[in-house]
Amino acid sequence: MTVDHNLRVESVEEAAFVAQHCATNGIDHEILNWRPDTQGNLSNQARIGRYTLMAEACAARKIGMLLTGHTLDDQAETILMRLGRGSGIDGLSGIQPLTTLWGLRLARPLLTVSRERLRSYLRKENILWVEDPTNEDHRHLRVQARDALKTLSSIGITSERLSRTAGLMGEANKILEGQADALAMRICTFSPLGFVSLDSGQLCAAPRETARRLLARLLCMISGHAYRPRLDALDALLFSLSETSFAGRTLHGCRIDPHLDHCVIQREPSACTAISRVTSSRVVWDNRFGITVPASLVSWPDLQIAATGEKGLHRLKAEKAILSKEWTIAPRPARLCTPALWQGDTLIGIPCADWFANQNASTTRTVTIDAVAVDPDEEAFI
């Protein structure tokens, strides 16, 4: 797959060049087009955009693993940039050789191979390639890091040594992740409706690094964001949770609300605007739910998955539907943000509530829903 970000006029021709190479060598290939938004951080948008496109394409083809071409130099540049941002052990673990993003396994088999070694191999095999001119644009932080490495090598800071440091940090990171896992098992209750209840007192009493790590993981899981909140935002939320006057707040596309003797982290309804058209039997919606749709439904016109929303809740109330206890005890914001099947503006079903419109019940009841874990440490290169 080649993602054309449509940021340069040459990108169309470059993507076609790759397509032709693949066709010549009998390799299936597809060009995925991403359209930039003029608002916000363009690099971050592009990173999330390309992985979203690739994850959706893999899901449609029932592909469970995606290989990317990250190299040893990409790893070193990432570590250097994260040092500049003051990253901790998580960040300095660098790009991982195998991670999971939205239910898709990401493998990076070339992390120990330098760019120059790759270029030498291509020359030897008489294979042409295209150099992205943005790799020479010094307005980009990664290009600045690339240049800095050339200077730092004189004092022994090389790509190889930075990569080794990333490996050592990764080993330490696994230990810390284990402690966060243990804390989660003690204090968290996860709901298939896409929210989590937790003992905020025990969270705030835990070692700060463990609490911060678990909180970041939960916020990413509930929001579907692949990138964790900033450190200062996490610490501010932990401080708020420790206060008896805590009345709730929002962060990272989530609502964090007190509820009886615990707190609930749930999707923020105003941020839950994802709409996924059903064009294959496997759909990832809102980067949180994996939805399996029977083949007989895929051909339905204008079938899409969107949030249940107020319209869905009003329909359930009007129907006086008999719903599961899990649905009825769930917080209202969480119910608003569950996936529902829509045909245009017509509600077809709400699988998490086990409710389906009568005329479609026999077919749509075969729709299945599962939560999709999100890896908050995924890093891509520009």
Residue boundaries of the structural domains of the chain: 2-166, 190-270, 272-371
In DSSP terms, which residues pair with 290 in a beta bridge?
Answer: 284, 370
Quick check: 365 pLDDT over 70? no
Q: From the CA atom positions of the chain, what is the Rg in Å?
A: 23
Note the pLDDT of residue 380: 32
CATH number listed for the domain at residues 2-166? 3.40.50.620
User: pLDDT value at position 363?
Assistant: 59
Quote the pLDDT of residue 362.
60
**CA 259/CA 331 separation, integer angstroms:** 9
Domain 190-270 classification at class level: alpha beta
Q: Which comes out higher in pLDDT, residue 48 or 105? A: 105
State the pLDDT at residue 368: 75
Residue 356, pLDDT score: 86
* pLDDT above 80: residue 375: no
Task: State the pLDDT confidence band at 341, using cuts at 50, 70 and 90.
Answer: very high
Angular region, 9: left φ>0, alpha ψ -120 to 50, beta rest: alpha
Q: What is the pLDDT of residue 325?
A: 85
How far, in Å, CA of 105 to CA of 191, rounded?
A: 23
pLDDT > 50? residue 174: yes
Residue type, 8: R
SS3 251: strand
- Residue listed under structure tokens 């995606």: 66
Does 240 have pLDDT greater than 70?
Answer: yes
Q: What is the mean pLDDT of residues 363-376?
A: 61
Q: What is the rounded CA–CA span in Å between residue 240 and residue 217?
A: 18
Beta-sheet strand order (sheet of 339-343): 276-277, 303-307, 339-343, 346-350, 355-356
250 or 101, which is more confident: 250
**Residue 105: pLDDT band with limits 50, 70, 90:** very high
Q: What is the pLDDT of residue 354?
A: 86
Is a pLDDT exceeding 70 seen at residue 333?
yes
Assign 378 a pLDDT band (cuts: 50, 70, 90). very low
Q: Which phi and psi angles does 188 have, rounded to 5°?
A: -115, 145
Distance CA 53, CA 374 (A): 15
Query: Mean pLDDT for the chain?
Result: 88
pLDDT of residue 379: 39
Check pLDDT > 80 for residue 173. yes
| pLDDT score, position 294 | 83
The answer on pLDDT for 381 being more than 50 is: no
| Tens digits of residue pLDDT in 70-79 | 999 999 999 9
Mean predicted confidence (pLDDT) in 240-256: 94
Least confident window among 101-105, 200-204, 260-264, 325-329: 101-105
Tokens of 148: 């800095």
Where would I find the H helices in the chain? 11-24, 42-60, 72-84, 89-92, 115-124, 141-152, 159-187, 200-205, 208-223, 231-241, 295-298, 309-319, 325-328, 332-336, 361-364
Token digits of residue 189: 């209750």
CA distance 166 to 78: 10
Distance, CA of 305 to CA of 350 (rounded, Å): 10
d(CA 110, CA 67): 9
Contact 96, 166 (CB under 8 A): no
Distances (CA, A) of 248 to 17, 73, 187, 254, 262: 52, 43, 19, 11, 12
CA 63, CA 29: separation in Å to the nearest integer? 14
Share of the chain above pLDDT 90, in %: 62
pLDDT at residue 12 tops 60: yes
Q: Of 366 and 69, which is predicted with more confidence?
A: 69
Structure tokens at 241: 């949770």
Q: pLDDT value at position 360?
A: 57
Query: ∠176-181-185 over CA atoms, to 5°?
Result: 150
What are the b/e assignments for 281-317, b being 16+ CB within 10 Å? bbbbbbbbbbbebeeebeebeebbbbbbbeebbebbe
Distance (Å, whole) CA 70 – CA 272: 32
- pLDDT (mean) for 184-210: 94
For a pLDDT cut of 70, what percent of the chain falls above it?
93
Location of structure tokens 């690094």: 209
Condensed to tens digits (0 to 9), the pLDDT of residues 261-283 reads 789 999 999 999 999 888 888 78
**Encoding tokens for residue 121?**
């191999």
Judge whether 264 and 236 are in contact, CB under 8 Å: no
